[in-house]
Homo-oligomer: A and B are copies of this chain.
Amino acid sequence: MLPVSKDLIDAARGLVPADIVLRNARIFNPFTCTWEEGNLAVKDGRILGIGNYTGKEEQDLAGRYIVPGLIDAHVHIESSLLAPKEYARLVAMHGTTTVIADPHEIANVAGSKGLAFMLTEREGAAVDIRYMLPSCVPATPLDVGGAILEARDLEQFAGQEGVTGLGEMMNFPGVLAGDEEIGRKLALFPIRDGHAPFLSGNDLNAYILAGPDSDHECTNRAEAEEKLKKGMYIYIREGSTEHNIAELIAVVNPLTVSRCCFATDDCHADLLVHEGHIDRCIRTAVACGLAPELAIRMATLSAAERFGLADRGALTPGRRADFCVIDDPRRFEVKQVYRSGREIITGPATTPAPFHTTVQCIPPTIADIRISGAGTTRVIGLVPHQILTESLQVDIADTSIPDFNRDILKIVVCNRYGKNQRAVGLVHGFGFRRGAIACSISHDAHNIVAAGAGDAEICAAIEAVVKAGGAMAAIAGPIATVLPLDCAGLMSTLPYEEVAQRLGQLGEVTRTMGGIDDPFMYLSFLALTVIPALRITDRGVFDVAQFVDVPLFVKK
């Protein structure tokens, strides 16, 4: 640390003017969860204090409210489909000044190169992006994408500016089995996020003992209470698909609030644009009955303390001047945002540094995705509003696909890492009557996955994805609608406004296809081999219960 300058001390004493004084504000105090009327003084990007100050620049807030900058305790930036700086430009306008991000997706695609890219992109971003290094790349030995990250790979990033700890340890079976490589990863960092849905009792004790001391996977109150009592920080999640605030907010009270934070985990750009970020979490929590002061405490000091960030989370002397001006604690509309003492004005769109292409794939021809024969086949059954699938068995003939009566369509997975490997399977539940969709996001290996009503459309959609260097593509007519995800096949290099707009267009096109809402969400999870029951990889159909590849035909 550098000693604090005499100039700053003099300014805090009021002997020399501050840079900025915000007068007549109601300033949130997260230590007492009260509002204090006064003048907030800032200099050199740091809070001088609330008191009797004059500033080179002064602003009369006329009783408006100031809260510390909001903190997202756990997010995968890649899920927004935005590159980090563009993500930052977007969430900053919602009052966020710090995000704790786990670059799990790009790490699965590009390993250490992906991590290095994400660390570079934090420089100059509108909010402070801090990383928890992904602990489970790949998620399972059978789910290898573009990289394997071992403890020794992660170790090279330890201590780097912007690296805060170890990201969500999803491999809880491995933790409980005492896996040595996992132990080495956990021993690298004192701050270790957990991920242990439904884990309880002695096994939860063992998991916590091994190191992880947070969880953002709670879905019911009893689960959150047990984890809280056992010393875990609880990140209450409100993402694009996961909505846990309504159920979990009852665990937050004046005694527990210091151990509870908000997390968005996975949020698409359009949701962030239209509904907000952590400000949305606060509004939702308040709507569910939580006192605004407790919700704001969660979003500020509690998160800062959890990550050992003593320089933020409160507007007390010496901390970063990260804060936002809001209209009212209950409405919580963010009117102005300051980071390090400077007001954030929506800047011009940003472009990430060029990232080497990770989508190396020869698009299949119609012949390549042909199914031959007839008999009983394994069919992946979608479950509405779940990423679980059912394992169905259906009699088909190769000529009967697509089978619109029974809603059985083709699904294709193509390796995107230059291995000319692909597989074809069958899926029930999309309900498409025409067209096809394809995507280079498919957890966790992120191969290209496509499904559709016709072989030609499937091939065309995959080709559109490959051509864009990664994309979400929908075809329901002559022209493909494409959101290019040219950054690692996961994120767009477009401005967030345009990404949100293209997501809207993709939604419009898929709605004309006659199927379910949000088909890309389902599609992107159909290759995830850790979630029951039936999946498909670039090797073929995968039975999760037996944890083995299985043939498409049970019998021909």
Chain A contacts to B: CB under 8 angstroms: 1-6, 8-10, 12-14, 29, 31-34, 36, 46-53, 175-176, 178, 180, 183-184, 186-188, 190, 201-206, 208-211, 213, 225, 228-231, 253-259, 305, 308, 310, 314, 316-319
Q: Check A10–B178 contact: CB distance below 8 A.
A: yes
Q: How far is the CB of A318 from chain B (nearest CB, A)?
A: 4
Instruction: Name 12 interchain pairs, CB-CB below 8 A, sorted by A.
Output: A1-B188, A1-B190, A3-B180, A4-B186, A8-B209, A9-B176, A9-B206, A9-B209, A13-B176, A31-B228, A31-B259, A230-B316
Q: Check A208–B32 contact: CB distance below 8 A.
A: no
Complex-state Cα separation, A29 to B50, whole angstroms:
36
Residues of B within 8 A of A316 (CB): 208, 229-231
14 additional contacts (CB under 8 A) given A48-B205, A254-B255, A255-B257: A3-B183, A4-B186, A4-B210, A6-B180, A9-B206, A9-B209, A13-B206, A32-B228, A32-B255, A33-B255, A48-B209, A49-B230, A208-B318, A231-B317
Q: Name A203's contact: one of B13, B34, B50 (CB within 8 Å).
A: B13
Q: How far is the CB of A314 from chain B (nearest CB, A)?
A: 6
Residues of B within 8 A of A228 (CB): 31-32
Q: Which residue of chain B lies nearest to A47 when distances are taken between CB atoms in the complex? A: B209
Q: How far is the CB of A492 from chain B (nearest CB, A)?
A: 39
Q: Which of A6, A49, A314 has the most chain B CB atoms inside 10 A of its CB?
A: A49
Residues of B within 8 A of A13 (CB): 176, 202-203, 205-206
Residues of B within 8 A of A253 (CB): 254
Complex-state Cα separation, A362 to B511, whole angstroms:
99
Q: Which of A47, A49, A209 has the most chain B CB atoms inside 10 A of its CB?
A: A209
Q: Check A52–B202 contact: CB distance below 8 A.
A: yes
Q: Which of A204, A257, A318 has the most chain B CB atoms inside 10 A of its CB?
A: A318
Q: How far is the CB of A238 from chain B (nearest CB, A)?
A: 23
Complex-state Cα separation, A190 to B2, whole angstroms:
11
Complex-state Cα separation, A201 to B204, whole angstroms:
47
Q: How far is the CB of A255 from chain B (nearest CB, A)?
A: 4
Complex-state Cα separation, A186 to B9, whole angstroms:
13
Q: Which of A5, A202, A229 has the most chain B CB atoms inside 10 A of its CB?
A: A202
Complex-state Cα separation, A201 to B38, whole angstroms:
12
Q: Check B229–A318 contact: CB distance below 8 A.
A: no
* Copies of chain A in the complex: 2
Q: Which residue of chain B lies nearest to A210 when distances are taken between CB atoms in the complex? A: B4
Complex-state Cα separation, A233 to B47, whole angstroms:
18
Complex-state Cα separation, A515 to B236, whole angstroms:
65
Complex-state Cα separation, A343 to B210, whole angstroms:
25
Known: A209-B48, A211-B4, A231-B314. A202 touches B12 (CB 8 A): yes
Residues of B within 8 A of A210 (CB): 4, 9, 318
Q: Name A317's contact: one of B29, B184, B206 (CB within 8 Å).
A: B206
Residues of B within 8 A of A184 (CB): 3
Q: Check A2–B187 contact: CB distance below 8 A.
A: yes
Q: Name A3's contact: one of B8, B33, B187 (CB within 8 Å).
A: B187
Residues of B within 8 A of A180 (CB): 3, 6
Residues of B within 8 A of A204 (CB): 49
Q: Check B9–A178 contact: CB distance below 8 A.
A: yes
Residues of B within 8 A of A3 (CB): 180, 183-184, 186-187
Residues of B within 8 A of A178 (CB): 5-6, 9-10
Q: Check B205–A317 contact: CB distance below 8 A.
A: yes
Residues of B within 8 A of A10 (CB): 178, 206
Complex-state Cα separation, A229 to B52, whole angstroms:
16
Complex-state Cα separation, A269 to B363, whole angstroms:
82
Residues of B within 8 A of A183 (CB): 3-4
Q: Name A209's contact: one of B31, B34, B49 (CB within 8 Å).
A: B49
Residues of B within 8 A of A190 (CB): 1, 310
Q: Which residue of chain B lies nearest to A313 when distances are taken between CB atoms in the complex? A: B231
Complex-state Cα separation, A180 to B13, whole angstroms:
17
Q: Which residue of chain B lies nearest to A7 when distances are taken between CB atoms in the complex? A: B178
Known: A186-B4, A316-B208. A31 touches B256 (CB 8 A): yes
Q: Which residue of chain B lies nearest to A255 when distances are taken between CB atoms in the complex? A: B254
Q: Check A49–B12 contact: CB distance below 8 A.
A: no
Q: Which are the 4 A-B pairs with shortest beta-carbon distances?
A: A6-B178, A49-B205, A3-B183, A231-B316
Q: How far is the CB of A479 from chain B (nearest CB, A)?
A: 55
Q: Which of A1, A204, A205, A257 has the most chain B CB atoms inside 10 A of its CB?
A: A205
Complex-state Cα separation, A209 to B50, whole angstroms:
12
Q: How far is the CB of A20 from chain B (nearest CB, A)?
A: 15
Residues of B within 8 A of A213 (CB): 310
